[in-house]
Amino acid sequence: MHITPETHIADIAAASPGTIRVFQRHAIDFCCGGKRPLSEVCSEQGLEYRDLVGELEAAGTSGSDDRDWTRAPLGDLIDHIVWHYHESLRSELPRLDGMARKVFEVHGRQHPELGNVLSHVRRLRTELEQHMVKEELALFPVIRKLAEGRRLEPLTSGAGLSTPIGMMEHEHEDTGRVLAELRQVTRGYEPPDDACNTYRGLFHGLAELERDLHTHIHVENNILFPRALEKRPATVQ
- Are 44 and 158 found together in one domain? no
User: Same structural domain for residues 138 and 25?
Assistant: no
Residues 48, 96, single domain; the answer is no
38 and 98 part of one domain: no
State pLDDT tens for residues 183-222: 999 999 999 999 888 899 899 899 999 999 999 999 999 9
- Choice among 2-6, 97-101, 109-113 with the minimum mean pLDDT: 2-6
What average pLDDT does the structure give for the chain? 88
66 lies in some domain: no
Please say whether the beta carbons of 185 and 123 come within 8 A.
no
pLDDT of residue 59: 78
Residues 97 and 152 in one domain: yes
Do residues 13 and 128 share a domain?
A: no
In a domain, 190, yes or no: yes
Query: How far is C-alpha 138 from the geometric centre of its chain's CA atoms?
Result: 19
Residues 109-155 pLDDT 10s: 999 999 999 999 999 999 999 999 999 999 999 999 988 887 666 54
pLDDT digits (tens, 9 = 90+) for 13-43: 888 877 887 888 888 988 878 889 999 999 9
Residue 205 and residue 92 in contact, taking contact as beta carbons nearer than 8 Å: yes
Find all residues with CB under 8 Å of 146, minimum gap 6, and list them: 74, 152, 157, 161, 228, 231, 232, 233
In this structure, the answer to whether residues 181 and 116 fall within a common structural domain is yes
Domain assignment of residue 183, yes or no: yes
Which long-range contacts does 20-26 make (Cβ < 8 Å, 24+ apart)? 20/215, 20/218, 21/59, 22/52, 22/55, 22/56, 22/59, 24/211, 24/214, 26/52
pLDDT of res. 61: 60
pLDDT over 80 (residue 159): no
CA–CA gap between residue 35 and residue 45 (Å, rounded): 16
Region at 189 (left for phi over 0; alpha for psi -120 to 50; beta for the rest):
left
- Assess whether pLDDT exceeds 70 at residue 63: no
DSSP-assigned letters across all residues of 13-74? HHH-GGGHHHHHHTT---STT--SBHHHHHHHHT--HHHHHHHHHHHHTS------TTTS-H
The answer to whether residue 236 is domain-embedded is no
233 — pLDDT class (breaks 50, 70, 90): low
Give domain status of residue 101, yes or no. Answer: yes
Indicate whether 96 belongs to any domain.
yes
In a shared domain, residues 81 and 44: no
Pick the range with the lowest mean pLDDT from 95-104, 162-171, 192-201.
192-201
**Structural domain of residue 16, as residue ranges?**
9-60
* Mean pLDDT, range 81-105, rounded to an integer: 94
> Count of domains in the chain?
2
Tell whether the model's pLDDT for residue 157 goes beyond 80.
no
| Residue 135 within a domain | yes
216, amino acid identity = H
40/136 same-domain check: no
CA–CA separation, 174 vs 170, rounded Å? 6
Over range 176-184, report the average pLDDT: 96
Q: CA 55, CA 58: separation in Å to the nearest integer?
A: 5
Residue 65 lies in a domain: no
Report the distance separating Cα 164 and Cα 225, nearest Å: 10
Contact 218, 10 (CB under 8 A): yes
What is the rounded distance in angstroms from the CA atom of residue 30 to the CA atom of residue 189?
Answer: 20
Residues 48 and 80 in one domain: no
Q: Say if residue 101 is in the same domain as residue 178.
A: yes
pLDDT at res. 237: 42
40 and 85 together in one domain: no
